[in-house]
Structure 1
Amino acid sequence: MAPHVMLSYQWDNQALVKRVYDRLKDDGLPVWMDIEGGVSGNINDAMAAGVEEAAVVCLFMTPAYQASRSGKKELNYADSRGVPVVPVMVAKNWEASEWLGLITAGLLWIDFRNSEKSDDHFEKCIKSLVDEIMFSGGDLLSVEAPPPDVNDGAMERPSRRKQPGRGFRHALTGLYLWESGEQKFHPASDTRNSVELHNSPGDHGYWEEIRGDNCKHYRSFITNGYLGYDPNGNYTYTKASPHGAEEWQLLVDETDNSAERAVVVKNKHSELFLAVFNGQLTGQKFYNESCKWFLE
């Protein structure tokens, strides 16, 4: 069995998951689903094989999934094997707790709560899901070039490939978080590089995500410098090694209804949100729209 994307869900959401399965297949991704040939023979053996060969497990989170014994077995097994997990939030006004909350703590979930609002909304949700799948396990997946879309004549969907990191586009200004490479000396930590805003991402706008202790570090794809924020000088920078001021929390922006991947980025050390004000990066104590970013 080749590496694949495993869809883990509770049967109440089978129609939605089947629709997601079909769209991921259309995009050329290898996908495993129980009702699409994933289960034959002993169900426990089949589920174990599905997890063991998974590059990524996508779980569709609902209270019923949390109460499901089979869902718990699947996800615990995936967690024990270190398989990347991509949570998909389906239930409204609910958050995971107990064993499911423990496994998904700190993970960035994909918002499918209004995915069936319209075809356009669903397609944006699918794009977000594919982006996160490729970010989490794209180097293990053999992705086929998607065929031409019969509904769009000769138009072809873009081939999916793993990006070198996350891109952060500011929601209000459309500008990207960008490592300029310009060096400036700092007496406490020697050289720091400037971080600014730019109108296009390029390689300087990609940030590798590295998990820390209840936080994330973001390292520039170009310079290997770690993103940090200095509240005393109110400026953003990169430096060669991460410490407290280079620890971040990345959270879903639950106030957003655009179906894009809206997030907030919070500096763990200063407890300030990374925001843009008057065209400049700044730290902000309280959330507002200037703190919103879209992942790309």
Structure 2
Amino acid sequence: MEGSSKSTLRGGREGRSRSYGGHAMISYQWADQKLVLKIKESLRQKGYRIWMDVDHMEGSTLQTMAEAVQNASVVLVCMSERYKLSQNCRSEAEYAFSLEKKIVPLLMQRAYKPDGWLGMIKGTKLFFDFSGKYPFDQKLTDLVKELGEHGKTQQLTDEIDVGYDVMVTIV
């Protein structure tokens, strides 16, 4: 968990800076990397913690991918025909599905209609079309609304009356 941790007067507990349920993981096929990097940077600028393989791959690929899914509060599945054909992409998406993670589908290929295992994962979920059919900024705004606080970094701040005419602020 990223962020600082500060001990303070609070009945023996600590105040912490933490993220809301983990990061947003982007699961994509490398052919879409240029657009995915643009999405990643745009979300980071809006305060989201983004996990993407280009930043975090080390050691065992399968272990790193599994931990990324396990620690995610949301998984962005970047759908395309190449994504569907990739065994690594399938593993990430199916693992997220099996862990009942929030999955947000992003359409990367114009007019692509997911079927088979990818169609099942997409199901009836709302998806966001980043294929170029619509303006990028419009789709990004829609995506941010859907993500809400999932993957967003927040400071927890509490004020507590400790009964000694002293107010303690925990940051």
Q: 1:77 aligns with which of 84, 95, 98?
A: 95
Equivalent of residue 136 in structure 2, options 122, 128, 138: 122
Instruction: Return the match for 2:40 from 16, 21, 24.
Output: 21
Relative contact order higher in (CA < 8 Å, ≥ 6 apart)? 2
- What TM-score do the two structures reach when normalised by structure 1? 0.44
1:57 maps to which residue? 75
Structure 1 residue 141 displacement after superposition: 3.6
- Residue in structure 2 matched with residue 271 of structure 1 by the alignment: none
- 1:80 deviates by 0.5
1:88 is paired with a residue whose SS is strand
**Tell me, what secondary structure is at the counterpart of 1:58?**
strand
Deviation at 1:128, TM superposition (A): 1.1
List aligned pairs for 1:1-296, cutoff 5 A: 1=1, 3-36=22-55, 38-114=56-132, 121-134=135-148, 138=149, 140-143=150-153
In 2, distance between residues paired with 1:126 and 1:133? 10
User: Alpha-carbon deviation of 1:27?
Assistant: 0.6
Tell me which protein shows more strand as a share of its residues: 1
CA distance in 2: counterparts of 1:26 and 1:102, whole angstroms: 32
* Residues 192-212 of structure 1: per-residue CA shift (max 9 Å, x gap): xxxxxxxxxxxxxxxxxxxxx
Please give the secondary structure, in 1, of the residue aligned with 2:105: strand
Partner Cα distance (1:141, 1:90) in 2: 21
Counterpart contact for 1:29–1:144, Cα < 8 Å = no
Q: Taking structure 1 as reference, are residues 19 and 144 closer, same or farther at Cα in structure 2, changes over 3 Å only?
A: farther
Q: Distance in 1 between matches of 2:151 and 2:52?
A: 16
Greater fraction of residues in helix: 2
**Identity between Structure 1 and Structure 2 (%):** 31
Unmatched 5+ stretches in structure 2: 3-21, 156-171
- Deviation of the 1:144 alpha carbon: 5.2
Residue 95 to residue 54, structure 1, CA distance change in 2 (3 Å): same
Give distance in 2, aligned partners of 1:141 and 1:114: 25
What SS does the aligned partner of 1:56 have? Answer: strand
The separation in 2 between residues aligned to 1:112 and 1:94, in whole angstroms, is 11
SS in structure 2 of the partner of residue 101 of structure 1: helix
Aligned-pair Cα RMSD in Å? 1.7
1:65-95 deviation line (CA, Å, top 9, x unaligned):
0001000000110000000100001112220
Q: Under a length normalisation based on structure 2, what TM-score does the superposition of the two structures give?
A: 0.75
Mapped partners of 2:142, 2:153: distance in 1: 17
Q: Distance in 1 between matches of 2:79 and 2:138?
A: 19
Q: 1:58–1:87: 8 Å Cα contact kept in structure 2?
A: yes
> Can you give the 5+ residue segments of structure 1 that lack an aligned partner in the other structure?
146-296
* Cα separation, partners in 2 of 1:11 and 1:141, compared to 1, 3 Å: closer
Greater C-alpha Rg? 1
Matching residue's letter, 1:64: R
**Residue 153 of structure 2 aligns to which amino acid in structure 1?**
V
